[in-house]
């Protein structure tokens, strides 16, 4: 099966999530992560952000880290994705107590496949990730999708609450049968 490698619009609810293989950092260790591994028997919360240490992205990543699903929900994996490299992620995670993997989309492949690559220029940089959140089910279907209207707008935690509501609707990670 061939998947589209690049798209102009973000993936949406009901679509099959594009596979990815990316290096990432968790607990100071660099390793490779894949969609199929991350969704094996669990849902995946995929948070895409622009840069480590940018004020709005720091707020987004830390808000996700502080949310209760990391400790109160079974079968939910959380990862963050940006174009930063592993050593920036290591420092960022350590400085902010991020307890979930941060993946490195340095070649912009995930952002292209998920339709969340900003083609404009900001601060001299082009092709940066669009801030977004996705919930992907264990069968690799998109169950929730949110993309920020503006990458540099102040962070509002409403998308995290809406994603959590979707987890509740699906009865994912609550231990219920």
pLDDT of residue 2: 37
Pick the CATH number of 21-150 from 3.40.50.1100, 3.40.640.10, 3.30.565.10, 3.40.30.10: 3.40.30.10
pLDDT of residue 152: 63
Map out the domains of the chain as residue ranges. Answer: 21-150
pLDDT of residue 113: 94
pLDDT of residue 123: 66
pLDDT of residue 130: 84
| Ramachandran region, residue 113 (left: φ > 0; alpha: ψ -120 to 50; beta: rest) | alpha
**What's the longest Cα–Cα distance across the chain?**
50
| Ramachandran region, residue 38 (left: φ > 0; alpha: ψ -120 to 50; beta: rest) | alpha
Helix (H) or strand (E) holding 78: strand 76-82
| Contact yes or no for 45/64 (Cβ under 8 A) | yes
Q: What is the pTM of this model?
A: 0.84
Q: Kindly list the averaged pLDDT for each block of 10 residues, start to end, along the chain of length 177.
A: 60 95 95 96 89 62 61 79 91 85 92 86 73 93 90 74 88 61
Q: How far is CA 69 from the centre of its chain?
A: 14
Q: What are phi and psi of 111, to 5 degrees?
A: -60, -40
């Amino acid at each position: 099966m061939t998947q589209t490698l690049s798209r102009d619009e973000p993936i949406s609810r009901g679509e099959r999530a594009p596979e990815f293989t990316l290096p990432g950092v968790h607990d100071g260790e660099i390793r490779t992560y894949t969609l199929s591994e991350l969704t094996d028997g669990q849902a995946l919360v995929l948070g895409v952000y622009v840069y480590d240490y940018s004020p709005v992205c720091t707020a987004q990543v830390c808000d996700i880290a502080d949310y209760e699903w990391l400790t109160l929900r079974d079968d939910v994996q959380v990862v963050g994705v940006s174009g930063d490299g592993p050593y920036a992620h290591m420092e960022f995670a350590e400085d902010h107590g991020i307890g979930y993997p941060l993946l490195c989309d340095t070649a912009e492949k995930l952002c292209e496949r998920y339709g969340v690559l900003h083609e404009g220029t900001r601060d001299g940089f082009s092709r940066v990730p669009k801030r977004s959140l996705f919930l992907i089910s264990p069968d690799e279907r998109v169950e929730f999708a949110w993309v920020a209207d503006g990458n540099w707008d102040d962070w509002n935690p409403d998308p995290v609450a809406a994603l959590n509501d979707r987890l509740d609707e699906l009865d994912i990670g609550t231990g219920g049968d």
